[in-house]
Structure 1
Amino acid sequence: MNLRLEFDGPVAHLLIDRLDKRNAFNMAMWEAMPGLLEQARADPAVRTLVIRSAQPGGVFCAGADIKEMLLHKDDGAWLAANQAAINRVQHDLARLTLPTVAFVEGDCVGGGCGIAIACDLRVATDKARFGITPGKLGIVYPLHDVKLLTDLVGPGQAKRMLFTGGLLDAAEAQRIGLVEMIADSPRGLLNDILSASPHSIREIKMFVRRVLDGQTGDDDQTLAIFTDAFMRGDFAEGAAAFAGKRKPDFNG
Structure 2
Amino acid sequence: MVSYTAYESISVDIADGVATIEFHRPEVYNALNDAVMLDLSRAFDEIQLDRGIDAVVITGEGEDAFSAGADITEYAGPAEEHAHQEDRQELFYEMYQKALHCHAPVIAKINGYCVGGGLILAMFCDMRVAVEGAKFGVPTANIGQIPTGGSNKRAIELVGEAKAKELVFTAGFIDAAEAERIGLINHAVAREELDETVQGIIDGIRDTGRKAVKNSKRALNYAADATDAADAREFEADLWWEQFASDERRELVDEFNEGE
* 2:130 counterpart (115, 124, 131): 124
The answer to whether the aligner puts 1:48 opposite 2:55 as a matched pair is yes
The answer to whether the aligner puts 1:204 opposite 2:216 as a matched pair is yes
TM-score normalised over the length of structure 2: 0.89
Runs of 4+ off more than 4 Å: 218-221
CA distance in 2, matches of 1:207, 1:213: 10
* CA contact 2:23–2:36 (8 Å) conserved in 1: no
* CA contact 1:4–1:36 (8 Å) conserved in 2: no
CA distance in 2, matches of 1:170, 1:24: 20
Equivalent residue letter for 1:151: E
Identity %, equivalent residues: 25
* Most deviating of 26-35 and 132-141: 26-35
Question: Which sections of structure 2, spanning at least 5 residues, go unmatched?
Answer: 1-7
> 1:165: Cα distance to partner?
1.3
Question: Which sections of structure 1, spanning at least 5 residues, go unmatched?
Answer: 247-252
Map Cα deviations across residues 201-228 of structure 1 (whole Å, 9 max, x no partner). 1111111111111241246554232122
- Aligned residue for 1:60, secondary structure, equals strand
The answer to whether the aligner puts 1:23 opposite 2:41 as a matched pair is no
* 2:165 counterpart (138, 151, 159): 159
* CA contact 1:132–1:161 (8 Å) conserved in 2: yes
**Which residue number corresponds to residue 250 of structure 1?**
none
Equivalent residue letter for 1:245: G
CA distance in 2, matches of 1:72, 1:89: 26
**Which residue number corresponds to residue 85 of structure 1?**
91
CA distance in 1, matches of 2:176, 2:110: 9
> 1:54: Cα distance to partner?
2.6
- How many pairs does the alignment contain? 245
The answer to whether the aligner puts 1:241 opposite 2:255 as a matched pair is yes
Inter-CA distance 202–72: structure 2 relative to 1 (3 Å threshold): farther
* Most deviating of 110-119 and 25-34: 25-34
Matches within 5 A, 1:168-207: 168-183=174-189, 184-185=194-195, 186-207=198-219
CA distance in 2, matches of 1:72, 1:31: 24
* CA contact 2:108–2:129 (8 Å) conserved in 1: yes
> 1:106: Cα distance to partner?
0.2
- Aligned residue for 2:229, secondary structure, equals coil
